[in-house]
Amino acid sequence: MKKKLHPIMLAGTGSDVGKSVIAAALCRIFKQDGYQPAPFKAQNMALNSYATPEGLEIGRAQAVQAEAAGVPCHTDMNPLLLKPSSDHTSQVVLNGRPIGNRNAFDYFRKEGREELRQEVNAAFDRLAARYNPIVMEGAGSISEINLRDTDLVNMPMACYADADVILVADIDRGGVFASVYGSVMLQTTEDKKRIKGIIINKFRGDIRLFEPGVKMMEDLCGIPVLGVIPYYRNIHIEEEDSVVLDYKRMQAVEGKINIAVVLLRHLSNFTDFNRLERDERVHLYYTNNTEDLAKADIILLPGSKSTLDDLYELRRNGVAQAVLRAHREGVTVMGICGGYQLMGLEIHDPEGVEGEIRQLPGLGLLPVITTMQGEKVTRQVNFHFLENAETCQGYEIHMGETRPVPGVSVVPLNKLEDGGEDGCFVNQKCMGSYIHGILDNQAFIDYLLEPYAEKLECHTVLDYRTYKEEQYDKLAEHVRSHLNLPLLYQIMSGND
């Protein structure tokens, strides 16, 4: 049995410094080295979420990290999830179940915070009893001292877990010395002692040129730099934050099957399209430009955290009309989750589950009506689509119930292994489903692309599960080769 290691927390000098990916790398490295690691993030704010095997909801990043660690994902890995529904409000998911919507002012007040703190601490304790080591992730910046008293995820959580803190900074943004030094100096005396190392992430160029900078940073902060991790482009790890959409392709190209994902304001679970992005037969791009939608062979309507608000916006900006026009001209239109709801005749929200809008007509492409309800469905599913014999996998996370228009017979797209049905099928170029991950299944992708066979050349079919495992190994190799791993193990063994 491996020696028990201290938990490690990756804390950031700011948001989007790459903590989640570094955490995934360390999960895979520890697994490769014979440990049984598990990820933990006390509080996560994200629209990309995932259903655990128990049918509960966690942040997608922790599901990815668990996959890198080779263990099943569990709500204890992310006990508190905030899913933004507007600039000021979020749905609060505690231990995998929604407990209501909160505005930021109410949520960050001291009242009620101790109950949440007890919940996330208990989740950590359960996780730490089962796994070794725990790879913890902070949120945002650890130098937001105005939030220190109500913080559940950064230094107070590290203190509770007796974790060694590694500060992660993004050098690609510039100002790395100021951000690291300021983050350290703004900590209390006790919290400073907990910061045991620094990782400089996303370095571009010749690392040798930064060697004097490493020495300067160590002298300045009195903390060792554990590694300078170069920026990479050839390793593909699922990202959770919608900021990554800024770097994805945005226009159609010649010579491939063009697939347009409609860029909704409240787009969620964009990881549904990661598998398609790796398919050599297609060019997938994100757009809300009506001219670019007109160039697509296939239009995908993605999930949304605020379906009615997005539907209102699609009608306002002309995208709804562009989708309908494309459908009339023979373009495939498919909706997933919120996108499936958008394709129906009507969406009702009598109880104001999503917000102020109570009812809107949908795109009218599917003979179904959706009613928003307070009970959220979260579960993993096995299914068969249409008459296909292959068993497919996916997961559901949605509010609302979608039913056929009274008196209309509807063909379900999918038959679930438990005997249930999902989605609506009009024809091969018009369908919708609640199942996230439906596009991770090769059989379904092949069916979706079949009408455009004349555009296809001979390409090797991608085994996505094997591909993802290869990417975790490549990430681990990349980080391992630029990290002082012996020193990290020394720190986590209590010998620093």
Structure tokens at 84: 């933004």
Nearest by Cα to 187 from 227, 229, 222 = 222
Residues in CB range of 249: below 8 A, 6 or more apart = 283, 284, 285, 286
**What is the C-alpha separation between 268 and 373, in angstroms, rounded?**
19
Burial (CB count within 10 angstroms: exposed 0-12, middle 13-18, buried 19+), residue 432: buried
End-to-end Cα distance, the chain: 22
**What is the C-alpha separation between 198 and 214, in angstroms, rounded?**
10
**Quick check: helix, strand or coil at residue 67?**
helix
Burial (CB count within 10 angstroms: exposed 0-12, middle 13-18, buried 19+), residue 415: middle
The owner of tokens 């916006």 is: 313
Residue 482 known to be catalytic: no
Residues in the chain: 496
**What is the C-alpha separation between 88 and 45, in angstroms, rounded?**
13
- Partners of 259 in beta bridges: 284, 298
The owner of tokens 């050839």 is: 234
CB 77 within 8 A of CB 93: no
**Sign for the pseudo-dihedral over CA of 460, 462, 463, 467:** positive
Residue 436 known to be catalytic: yes
Sheet with 282-287: list strands edge to edge. Answer: 282-287, 257-262, 298-301, 332-336, 430-433, 424-427
Nearest by Cα to 380 from 53, 43, 93 = 53
Helix (H) or strand (E) holding 52: none
Provide the total of helices (H) and of strands (E) in the chain, helices listed first: 16, 26
- Partners of 59 in beta bridges: 49
Structure tokens at 437: 């991950």
User: Which residue out of 6, 266, 398, 436 is catalytically annotated?
Assistant: 436
**DSSP letter (8 states) at residue 132:** B
CB 277 within 8 A of CB 57: no
User: Which residue out of 27, 73, 221, 337 is catalytically annotated?
Assistant: 337
**Quick check: helix, strand or coil at residue 440?**
helix
CB 360 within 8 A of CB 345: no
- Please identify every residue annotated as catalytic: 337, 436
